[in-house]
Amino acid sequence: MELEKLLRLESLIEACICSTYKRDDMKLTCLYVNLSSRFPSDCWYLTTDWHLWIKDRKATVNGYHPVHCRPDCEQILKQYEGDSVNNIIFLGDLVDDEFYQQFTKQEAEAIFDEMFSGIRNKNKYMILGNNDSIKYKSLYEKYGFTVVDALLVNGKYLLTHCPINIRGLNADIINIHGHQHGHGFYWTVPFTNHLDIWNKERTPVVFNKESIDELAESTKHLDISMLNLKSKKEFIEYRGKYKSDDEI
């Protein structure tokens, strides 16, 4: 990809982060990687939005919503233990951001130690989400994550947390992302060339051409009428609210 388009891509990512994230440090970290000549292959897996500790929206303590460990936390993490899933690209949001208000860094480290004790994958990338904290980057790295804001793989697959508006940049680029929790509605970007890889069980998604093509096929069934909705209120009325925090 030409330098001009790479710089344009970085500016789009930075603009998205500035408008969506709570970031004090805006030093952008984008990696441009060629993982293998066969990539994407069945030895790499994508996953996103674990939210292992979730907030109680009905309660408030010291100005924030307290968090609790989600009921299926153990089941989610077990899918990534052992040798069957060696290489992971995590697209952001390990926990709800209130987690970092409720616990000190030392307390957070103790919780992470317990949660990630069984995950010893050989290679792990973590793309920071809007609920992750740049101040905890060293803690994420302790568990083997290479922490970045975006990955551009083989010049074709742009991996981010939030969807990025790549219209006019390169027709061949596919923006693979999380953040939307599968609701399929894009607020500020066209839905073409975007793939939301979230699933409720947080099952690892094989990063190969067949899986990407299957996800791409599902976008053909996107409800286009949602594109005419003008507000979040209309969207909630149209699609219905989540029944509980445990379902996000």
At 182 the pLDDT is 77
Q: Say which residues have a Cβ less than 8 Å from residue 77's Cβ, sequence separation at least 6.
A: 52, 115, 116, 118, 119
Q: How confident is the model at residue 174, as a pLDDT?
A: 85
Output the pLDDT for position 54: 95
Mean pLDDT, to the nearest integer, of 179-208?
80
Dist CA 189 CA 64 (whole Å):
30
Look-up: residue for tokens 């994550």? 145
pLDDT on residue 165: 80
- For residues 205 and 157, is the Cβ–Cβ distance under 8 A? no
Side-chain half-sphere exposure of 155, counting CA atoms within 13 A: 6
Which is more confident, 226 or 102? 102
Checking if the pLDDT of 5 tops 80, the result is no
Between CA 132 and CA 117 the distance in angstroms is: 20
pLDDT reading at 45 higher than 80: yes
Average pLDDT over residues 36-55: 78
In tens, the pLDDT along 60-109 reads 888 888 999 999 999 999 999 877 788 899 999 999 999 999 999 999 99
For the cut 50, the answer to whether the pLDDT of residue 199 exceeds it is yes
Q: Domain-by-domain residue ranges, the chain?
A: 3-247
More confident residue, 135 or 167: 135
Which secondary-structure segment (H or E) carries 126? strand 123-127
Using DSSP's 3-state secondary structure scheme, residue 181 falls into coil
As a whole-number percent, the residues of the chain with pLDDT over 90 amount to 33
pLDDT of residue 214: 74
Confidence of residue 244 (pLDDT cuts 50, 70, 90): very low
CA pseudo-torsion sign 51, 54, 57, 62: negative
Taking residues 36-64, what's their average pLDDT? 81
How high is the pLDDT of residue 49? 96
